Structure 1
Amino acid sequence: INLLQMPSLRKKDDIPINGEDITPAKDGCLYKEIVHESTDDEAPWFDDKVTIHYIGTLVDGTVFANTREKDEKVSFNLGRGEVIKAWDMAVATMKRGEIAKFFSKPKYAYGLKGIPGKVESATSVIFEIELIDCIGKDISDDRDGTILRRVIKKGDAYEPTNEDSVVEVMIKGTYNKGEVFDERTVTFYAGAGAVQNIPAAVERSVFRMTKGQHDRLRLTGKA
């Protein structure tokens, strides 16, 4: 076998949008072009609940999906692998209200499986995505939005917090326009935080954290 030439995935001439490679490895498999700039500085974090509209097309312009037709928005938890990799990676680069086009090679789209009757195996696709909203994950008992959690920095996945674990946490509580009402580093047994005046909502979040993780909580109402 004599392999004379192999097309590069990084050739800009092969990219049907005027975009930039947004993959961490710069492997040329996912490009982004902003269609409408956001006027909002709010960007999604890992595990946020994000809501989008999208239009999926083949490179020749054939539409295979359009949530706008019936106003059927799509929501998922960012970075959890609930959707194709292209969406997780794409939405992570957006801000609320932004509309952007993404050209994805099969690697991050539908791979060898494709979508029967719509997208053939090993087919590149284009998505136009609008990020409608991004909010922290609701971890309140009643899912009433009183405790919203956002993961600012992921921790060590191999060291989860368990009941009776001894944990050391840095806490900073603010209100209004950033006025600080509580700032300290404290050590306590998980499940017994009340002894150290740890708010129940904070302890609830601790049980979902791993070593080195940084969370931000938004507490409202009865929380």
Structure 2
Amino acid sequence: MAWLAISCAGLAALAAEPFTSSRPAGPKARVVIVEDREATDSFRARAERIPAMVERGVTNLTSKATSREAWLSLVSTQDVVGIKVYSVPGPNSGTRPAVARAVVESLLAAGLPPKQIIIWDKSERDLRRAGYFEIGDELGVRVEASASAGYDDASSYTNSIIGSLVWGDHEFELTGPDIGKRSFVSKLVSQQITKIISLAPLLNHNSAGVSGNLYGLAVGSVDNTMRFELDPG
């Protein structure tokens, strides 16, 4: 119900804007759905089914014949590619580790150097509990927590909602009239990663309504996020 309410609010906002045929057309998103009824067993991913699904998805998305051609049309071997996972709910409700593994293996097969692939989320503890450090060790790729990389003074956004800063937030224990109004971007995102592949599952979120790619990427990339999740009442 919350998801429907957010969708309707978005449609209402669009309807309120005057529409003219001269309005410049924005870029169109391409959506590909890959289904396999045998891909999970009691919510657990069947690892042997996932690589073929990844290949079908990326080749259909890019209209390329092979997954190597598909990936190299999206990223280059010079990029540092961040595989953004959502590890807070664990391996069965969050991003399935088997999916992240299949994407990493496909990128490696396309020629990307292992040290230029980073599986990441906000919390090292969540990544470890979901099993991503084991995948990193096995495949030779990096696993990083954005909160541990530090936050970038030069990259932030401001919102009038003042946050109750907690340990780990960039401005924690600082004082001043504007303290708590900014959310700073992790240096992992602003200074290291050049391309991001988001592997967020679509979940219900009691505060945000829907937790998906936008929510997972936004909350995982910056600090001072409690102000957007707590009920002001």
* TM-score bracket relative to the smaller structure: under 0.3
TM-score, scaled to structure 2: 0.21
Q: Which structure features the higher share of helix residues?
A: 2
Q: Which structure features the higher share of strand residues?
A: 1
TM-score, scaled to structure 1: 0.21
